[in-house]
């Protein structure tokens, strides 16, 4: 269940208008503020002026009225009812992770899986998306300052390093080639497919000729998935869905 069952960490502030609550994300400490109690401030002002005009000349009554109408502009506390109302104002910005039970903002929550980003089964995918986004921002900054080529070279090197690592098909965790089981969830790892020159062992990245020594690379043709009789796409089926011919 992602709807929060409790309030996250919070405090009460006052900027001179009236008290309001500030709620914090348990992950990143991002702030979400409720509306100040302005209506209370206005009501107190009106009430104070009314009492002051009618009964202010009586010292005892005037003193009692002044104490009864504490100025909201200097109040740094909310009643339990006011705090609950403030929480309802900002609750839409929070979710509760069923695994770690932290109440986090939407930036730290994977709404697709219903878990926080750290506990999501799509953690690897989310990390890749965040890395791609960060890389895009970095590229834009680099181009502005004329260092885009250097950044792109570093990015390509990082991508090559990633391609040479074993990958978990479940959560996307990367580990050195040869790692048999995911260190995070225990799923058997998918090993990287070597794509190197048979002569000098340079990385080919799919090229037909080695960029290092020029050796021609013989690559096996992809197996056809079409029916040999009618040409219909079989999508891996053993018999053609169109004419029934056995495939393979």
14 lies in some domain:
yes
213 lies in some domain:
no
- Distance set, CA 44 to CA 36, 71, 135, 186 (Å): 14, 7, 53, 63
Q: Do 107 and 134 belong to one domain?
A: no
Q: Do 60 and 87 belong to one domain?
A: yes
- Distance set, CA 231 to CA 225, 234, 246, 247 (Å): 9, 9, 12, 11
Q: What is the pLDDT of residue 232?
A: 79
Question: Would you say how long the chain is, in residues?
Answer: 248
Q: Do 71 and 33 belong to one domain?
A: yes
Q: Do 136 and 64 belong to one domain?
A: no
Out of 77, 101, 116, a domain closes at: 116
214 lies in some domain:
no
195 lies in some domain:
no
Q: Do 52 and 129 belong to one domain?
A: no
168 lies in some domain:
no
Question: What is the count of structural domains for the chain?
Answer: 3
pLDDT digits (tens, 9 = 90+) for 183-230: 988 899 888 776 778 888 777 777 888 888 888 888 665 556 778 788
Output the tens digit of pLDDT for each of the chain's 248 residues. Answer: 578 999 999 999 998 888 999 999 999 999 999 998 765 555 555 555 544 554 444 454 444 444 445 677 788 899 999 999 999 999 999 999 999 999 999 999 999 999 999 999 888 887 777 777 777 776 777 677 766 666 666 666 666 667 678 888 888 888 888 898 999 888 998 887 767 788 887 777 778 888 888 888 886 655 567 787 887 777 677 778 788 888 76
207 lies in some domain:
no
Question: Among 113, 111, 95, 83, which Cα is nearest to 27's?
Answer: 95
Q: Do 227 and 242 belong to one domain?
A: yes
Q: Do 138 and 234 belong to one domain?
A: no
Q: Do 109 and 130 belong to one domain?
A: no
Q: Do 131 and 46 belong to one domain?
A: no
Q: What is the pLDDT of residue 56?
A: 47
Q: What is the pLDDT of residue 67?
A: 43
Out of 56, 86, 116, a domain closes at: 116
Burial 34-73 (b: 16+ CB within 10 A, else e): bebbeeebeebeeebeebeeeeeeeeeeeeebeeeeeebe
User: Domain range for residue 74?
Assistant: 10-116
Cα first-last separation, the chain? 48
Question: Among 100, 11, 146, which Cα is nearest to 109's?
Answer: 100
Q: Do 68 and 151 belong to one domain?
A: no
Q: What is the pLDDT of residue 68?
A: 42
Q: Do 145 and 86 belong to one domain?
A: no
Distance CA 201, CA 196 (A): 5
pTM exceeds 0.85 for this model: no
135 lies in some domain:
yes
Q: What is the pLDDT of residue 46?
A: 52
Q: What is the pLDDT of residue 231?
A: 78
40 lies in some domain:
yes
Q: Do 99 and 20 belong to one domain?
A: yes
């Amino acid at each position: 269940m992602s709807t929060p069952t409790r309030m996250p960490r919070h405090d009460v502030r006052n900027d001179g208008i009236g008290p309001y609550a500030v709620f914090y994300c348990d992950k990143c400490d991002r702030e979400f503020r409720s509306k100040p109690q302005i209506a209370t401030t206005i009501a107190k002002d009106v009430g104070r002026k009314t009492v002051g005009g009618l009964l202010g000349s009586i010292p005892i009554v005037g003193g009692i009225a002044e104490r009864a109408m504490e100025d909201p502009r200097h109040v740094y506390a909310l009643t339990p009812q006011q705090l609950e109302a403030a929480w309802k104002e900002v609750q839409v910005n929070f979710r509760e992770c069923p695994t770690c039970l932290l109440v986090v903002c939407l930036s730290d929550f994977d709404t697709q899986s219903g878990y926080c980003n750290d506990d999501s089964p799509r953690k690897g995918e989310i990390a890749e998306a965040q890395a791609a986004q960060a890389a895009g921002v970095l590229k834009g900054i680099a181009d502005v300052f004329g260092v885009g080529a250097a950044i792109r070279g570093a990015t390509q090197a990082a991508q090559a390093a990633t391609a040479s690592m074993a990958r978990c098909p479940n959560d996307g965790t990367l580990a050195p080639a040869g790692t048999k089981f995911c260190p995070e969830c225990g799923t058997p790892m998918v090993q990287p497919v070597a794509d190197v020159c048979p002569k000098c062992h340079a990385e080919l990245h799919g090229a037909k000729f080695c960029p290092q020594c020029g050796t021609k690379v013989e690559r096996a043709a992809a197996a056809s998935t079409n029916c040999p009789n009618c040409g219909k796409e079989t999508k891996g089926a053993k018999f053609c869905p169109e004419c029934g011919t056995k495939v393979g």
